[in-house]
Amino acid sequence: MSNMPDSREDLPRDPGEHRPDTASSADRQRIEWALLERVKELDCLYGITRLAQQNGLPQDALLRETAELVRVSWQYPEIACAAVTIDGQRYTTTGYRQSGTRQASPVRIQGETAGEVEVRYLEPRPDCGEGPFLQEERRLIDAVADLIGRIIERRRVEEQMRALSRELIKAQENERQRIARELHDHLAQDLSLVKTGLERIWTAQPPAENNAPQAAEVTERLGAAIAAIRDLAYGLLPPGLTELGLVDTVLRHCEEFSQRNGIAVDVFADGLEGVGMDFDTQINVYRLIQEALSNTRKHAAASAVRIRLLASYPNLILRIEDDGRGADLEKCLAKAGREKRMGLWSMRERARLLGGKITFRTKPGAGMRILVEVPGLRRTRGGQKTNPDR
């Protein structure tokens, strides 16, 4: 890092004391030095902004790297150290000591002081503004503190939104399971008993000949209602998930989807022998597949879908591809937001809920490709059966 040369103090106070070319050289040095300092300031703010854009970067790493960016941006980086303190936790540069001359600025989050940014010089330097610190450095440290406050505030809001999303999805899943049990265990069974009772009555006392068609129609409608209720309950909570496991349940759902919609679905699973998943992981992966197929049916105009479930311990990798018409992803997401459609949003939140990640790749005429990677596999003795292609 270049510092203002000592020639600053040697610059002529009376231009007549030296030749004009000497004064001109000193002016150039002063301008070059000032420009270099401004470049360091811009690099500092740009570097912090770039760190903030790394969504996967933990907060402690972000603040430590920010402290280092601050240190090298000051006038004398070779004797400087820096620290960022948030909520009582201090993140420092190497060699940080609480000694020497100090410059600091408070970090405010939602209007309250939550910490500070500080720079220290570990050796004396001549006064040039705020002690040994430049006036520009006061503006820079205030800007850094303000930027850090806004970054952390935004991250906290995002985390709150994610937490609310997780709670919403959990509540939605719990409600689905409750409704599914009510439909299957009560309503469907009650209607089955009614249907059986009517059939017994009509067997013991056959209706008049002119009423026989109506009696048959009532029985048929009851049967159709029972089947519809059971299908609805199955959609809300696939009954085979705990008994058969994820792969067999997905296979069954895809077969039924293909029969209903005329879209070929190819399912393949590999590497799942000897591993298991808890129910939350299984139901959310199942919902991801369910939602992807629903989107394909509604929007893709596809003729075929490929689903791959692959174990890469401890992660489960899910790939879903269709041969549909594709879309402009940015326009699709913007439209979904305007129209309050939950499909892609809920898929993203489910992946986050599992601690995983999801990516969408599509363009007009090229189909949709979805890649999901979630943790949650665990070793088991028996393991889950791997299903071949179908």
pLDDT at position 339 over 60: no
Which of 234, 373, 235, 360 lies closest to 300 in space, CA to CA?
360
User: Which pLDDT belongs to residue 341?
Assistant: 54
Per-residue pLDDT tens for 78-114?
Answer: 999 999 999 999 999 999 999 889 999 999 998 899 9
Cα 14 to Cα 8, 9, 21, 29: the distances in Å are 14, 13, 14, 17
Per-residue pLDDT tens for 23-61?
Answer: 577 777 777 766 777 778 888 989 999 998 887 789 999
Q: Which long-range contacts (CB under 8 A, 24 or more apart) does 242-246 make?
A: 242/279, 245/282, 245/384, 245/385, 246/277, 246/282, 246/285, 246/286, 246/309, 246/384
- Computed over its alpha carbons, how large is the radius of gyration of the chain? 33
Burial of 11 (0-12, 13-18, 19+ CB in 10 A): middle
pTM over 0.95: no
* Contact of 119 with 98, CB cutoff 8 Å: no
Cα 165 to Cα 171, 355, 358, 382: the distances in Å are 10, 13, 16, 35
